[in-house]
């Protein structure tokens, strides 16, 4: 499968978050061309600061493999991971992160800051812009509706 195929699954999960009233972010962890963990934002639903798509997907992947080490795994996520999620990515030894949208307000992989460039114990490859249009459409729709509700 190609990066686009796995990212489209992440977009489906972002839609699930959107349907729940959450910021529409979805994530999947892939090893050997198979999805081993999935997640979507659930911070508001569960009132949990840890309720990010990446954290849910990483946790599920660790349980699937029976290990906290996700070496040779790729994380696909519809928005650039925040600092917390970037820390989890580095600590879980994920090899590559593919994301759709740059997050200039809170991104931890280059949008706002870049934890991957400060010489920590693990280096992460990144690819950005995969399924950017699909992810942007969902995020834009979510925040437009949120602004309209607040009026």
HEC sequence for the chain: CCHHHHHHHHHHHHHHHHHCCCCCCEEEEEECCEEEEEEECCHHHHCCCCCCHHHHHHHHHHHHHCCCCCCCEEEEEEECCEHHHHHHHHHCCCCEEEEEECCCCCECECCCCEHHHCCCCCCCEEEECCCHHHHHHHHHHHHHHHHHHHC
- Set 54, 80, 132, 134: catalytic member: 54
> 54 catalytic, yes or no?
yes
- Residues designated as active site: 54
């Amino acid at each position: 499968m190609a990066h686009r195929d796995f990212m489209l699954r992440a977009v489906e999960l972002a839609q699930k978050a959107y349907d729940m009233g959450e910021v529409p972010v979805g994530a999947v962890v892939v090893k050997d061309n198979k999805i081993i963990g999935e997640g979507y934002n659930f911070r508001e639903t569960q009132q949990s600061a840890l309720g990010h798509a990446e954290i849910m997907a990483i946790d599920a992947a660790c349980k699937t493999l029976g290990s906290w080490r996700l070496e040779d795994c790729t994380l696909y996520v519809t928005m650039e991971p925040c600092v917390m999620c970037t820390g989890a990515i580095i600590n879980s030894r994920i090899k590559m992160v593919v994301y759709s949208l740059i997050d200039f307000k809170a991104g931890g992989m280059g949008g706002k800051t870049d934890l991957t460039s400060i010489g920590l114990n693990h280096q992460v490859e990144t690819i950005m812009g995969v399924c950017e249009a699909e992810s942007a459409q969902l995020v834009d729709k979510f925040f437009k509706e949120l602004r309209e509700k607040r009026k």
